Amino acid sequence: MFYKKPILLLVFALFSLKLIAQVGNDNNKIKLTVSGYTEAYFVTDFKHSQKGERQTFYYNYNRNKQLQFNQSILKFNISSPKIAMNLALHAGTYVQDNYAKESNFAKHILEANINVALNNKKTIYLTAGIIPSHLGFESSVAFDNWNLTRSLLAEQSPYYETGLKLTYKPNEKYEFATLFLNGWQKINPLKFKAMRSLGTQFKYTPNAKVNFNWSLYVGSESRGALSDFRIFNNFYSQINLNRRWRMLAGFDFGMQQKYQQADEYNFWYSPIFITQFSFNEKLKAAIRLEHYQDKNNVIVTMPENAAFVVNGLSFNTDYFIRPNLLFRMELRGLYSSSNTFQLDVGSIKNNRFFATSMAYKF
């Protein structure tokens, strides 16, 4: 059975056009934009025969042998020269899995924020509300990513955040941001007394071929009645070699107190490398190499506290049927030295699967 809410959004997307309404004069105009996105997928796990959820640490494309919708979005944007407001609603298996700890009302809100320019030059902005995460280079929207499935690095770090973000962009080369957040991918604040989370972001784009990003997260995390201090760094850089070849290298590194006020920390890290080749405007291919190590189950919870150490290789092809209609295929393998991947009965050391998807935006 299909998930009903994504289908409603898909129908709306297929039969709707972008709506733009302008009122007022040219110097003080208000613009309303309605946009949408939907993505259907089918995944076949080679050793997982039963239909249903594949692995607990996947949050995208996490249904086996079922035609499902990963995410369907309907977004409203109201903007004026200095103020913009965004409201985006979504549904799909991604929402079911990644927002499982949020309230039934909050989990269907992808974005709800207001963005205000604080000076006439529009170099300083204040954003408040539910916003996309400042950590990582992948989002839940297929058009934003080079691969069909999301990397382990992306799946185990926030896709969204709630709080305040102050951004300073003096020119096209530099961008700085400071964030005050409710926590590590949380819409509602933590119920116990804990330090609110902080974040920073630095972007450097010296030219059209190279960019560099360093994002930092610092905050207290909930483990029952305890509050454990967490520090997380996200680095990545993209290089466009020419109009056909481009590369991306990233590295995540985190540390967290073993318990409240502890002097000892648990660590986890994840390096990644992706390269993409464009045959033409319609056809692209990408290869991803990745490693994820969380031996103490800080981020990934494993049965019997087994170490989570995984290597991954994936190859995917993208075909743009139209500029806003994308068909993708991916072959991916994840490998571990221990029985990390759960089956219907028991567990195994590898997870190999084939995935395909169709994504449409308007």
Beta bridge partners of 90: 73
CA distance 356 to 40: 9
Tell me the sheet residues that pair with 119: none
**Residue type (1 letter), 205:** T
Residue spans per domain, the chain: 4-361
358 vs 347: which has the higher pLDDT: 358
Helix (H, G, I), strand (E, B) or coil at 344: coil
pLDDT band at residue 47 using 50, 70 and 90 as cut-offs: confident
DSSP-assigned letter for residue 210 = E
Closest CA to 229 of 263, 182, 190: 263
The per-residue DSSP string of 49-99 comes to -SSEE--TT--SS-EES--EEEEEEEEEEEE-SSEEEEEEEEESHHHHHHT
One-letter identity of residue 79:
S
**21: confidence class by pLDDT, cuts 50, 70, 90:** very low
Can you give the pLDDT at residue 346?
81
Q: Which two tokens stand for residue 148?
A: 């069909």
Give CA separation, 289 vs 117, 163, 272, in Å. 40, 33, 6
* pLDDT score recorded for residue 106: 92
Torsion angle of the four alpha carbons 68, 18, 109, 158, in this order, in degrees rounded to the nearest 10: 80
Q: Is pLDDT of 15 > 60? A: no
Which CATH number describes the domain made up of 4-361? 2.40.160.10
Tokens of 334: 């994840």
Say which residue the tokens 């110097």 belong to: 27
Mean pLDDT, residues 243-266: 90
Residues 350-361: pLDDT tens digits?
999 999 999 999
Quick check: 261 pLDDT over 80? Answer: no
pLDDT tens digits, 289-308:
999 999 999 999 888 778 99
The encoded tokens of residue 328 equal 């993708």
Checking 46-53 for CB contacts under 8 A at 24+ apart, the result is 46/352, 46/353, 46/354, 47/343, 47/348, 47/350, 47/351, 47/352, 48/343, 48/344, 48/351, 48/353, 49/344, 50/344, 53/97
pLDDT band at 12 (very low <50, low <70, confident <90, very high): very low
Q: Assign residue 153 a region: left if phi > 0, alpha if psi is -120 to 50, beta otherwise?
A: alpha
% the chain with pLDDT above 90: 72
CA pair distance 60, 178, nearest whole angstrom: 28
Q: Please state, in angstroms and as integers, the Cα–Cα distance from residue 227 to each residue in 178, 187, 199, 305, 350, following that order.
A: 23, 18, 18, 20, 34
| φ, ψ of residue 299 in degrees (nearest 5) | -105, -45
Q: Is the pLDDT of residue 238 over 90?
A: yes
Least confident of 9-18, 32-41, 181-190: 9-18
CB atoms within 10 A of CB 212: 14
Q: Tell me the whole-structure pTM to 2 decimals.
A: 0.88
